[in-house]
A and B are shown apart, each in its own frame.
Chain A
Amino acid sequence: MERYDIAIVGTGPAGVSAAISAKIRNKKVLLIGDKDLSKKMRQAHEISNYPGFPKVKGEDLAHAMAEHLAQMEIAITNVKVVNIYAMGKYFSLQTTGETFEALSVIIATGVMPGKMIDGEEGLVGSGVSYCATCDAPLYRGKDVIVAAYGKEEEKEAVFLSEVAREVAFFPVYNGDPSEMPGNVRVVREVPTGIRREGPKMVLETAQGSYETDGIFVLRESVSPGALVPGLATEGPHITVDRQMRTNIKGLFACGDITGRPYQYIRAAGEGNVAALSAVEYLS
């Protein structure tokens, strides 16, 4: 398998800045994220403290960053990273598409909005999955629950319905779900807890509890501790030092995911530090 020098996860200002600095240092870079860069930045009305861009609209800054990437011939790989495993001498990145390998990794995913479901984190990989396309084969002819935190996750539920016996679909978002296949049952309740009972999984809501074989929790981003097993975190943030090093050798983090204040310019600065630290690690 092709092995990258530095894989960067996230295309906000931190990830973009890290990719630019890594590319300048001639590293083989894999940049994973949204092709349209950070959604949050694009929606920012006005940013007033980014040097050189007074009162810039978020959309315009995102556009300038996209141009910068294009100019430096840095492509964006538009997949979702499900897990990052520290293999010792390299990292394995499992995504909704193919699996990638890199000698070092920079996490620049931004902070996850919202909380995890009680019990969710401890059961990831053993009854709780974040990736329908990865784990669906395990549930052939069995029952699954899908807790969906965005309308776009409906297609994952439809995909699971082709494999599983029955899908209980919990839409945790505004608006009504589109029409679903016959073996998908829509339950309009909010998941509050997940636990295992022998070989079965149980999802709890304020209204009742639901037994099933596997639970898929689908949201835009997963918590850093669930993304990288063994990673040291403090609440929703990854613990880093001033060189943006995490507790795992070769793994760096930058931007909002490392803590407050959540500022575009700070994120960009940290991306630069993380890239240079990764370059140093590789040498």
Chain B
Amino acid sequence: MVKVINAAQFDEVKNADVAVVDFSAQWCGPCKMMAPVLEEISGQYEGKVEFFNMDVDENQEIAASYMINSIPNLILFKKGEKVSDSIGFKPGEALKAWIDSNL
């Protein structure tokens, strides 16, 4: 499951062992296409990785602090620290390979 959060809930990302945050926006076509793909693969990481979604228009400060200027932009956090990012739409297999290489 991918949980939609706002800036006030960002502690959930900070406190997770491993978290993947999907920074995206309502108007972004590739983001819309990637959301269901991410939702589908999230089920395979239950108990290992927590998935979140943040709207960059509504959470501009956080987006700016991670220098998001190209979306969809996935960031993988370990214990609150940014470890890796993935920019643009990717098929499920490629997303899994990216996550696995960072676990």
Contact = CB atoms under 8 A, between A and B. Distances in A.
Nearest to A228: B91
Contacts of B93: 248-249
Mostly helix, strand, loop or mixed at chain A's interface? mixed
Q: How large is the interface on A (under 10, 10 to 19, 20 to 34, 35 or more residues)?
A: 20 to 34
Contacts of B30: 83, 85, 125, 229
A229 B69 contact: no
Contacts of B78: none
Contacts of A219: none
Interface in A58-90: 83, 85-88
A108 B40 CA distance: 29
Contacts of B88: 124-126, 229
A198 B69 contact: yes
A92 interface: yes
Contacts of B29: 83, 94, 125, 134-135
Interface in A221-252: 229-230, 248-249
A134 B40 CA distance: 26
Contacts of A196: 69-70
Interface of A: 83, 85-88, 92, 94, 122-127, 134-135, 137-138, 196, 198-199, 229-230, 248-249
16 contacts: A83-B33, A85-B33, A85-B34, A86-B92, A87-B36, A87-B37, A88-B40, A88-B91, A125-B88, A126-B87, A126-B88, A196-B69, A229-B90, A230-B94, A248-B93, A249-B93
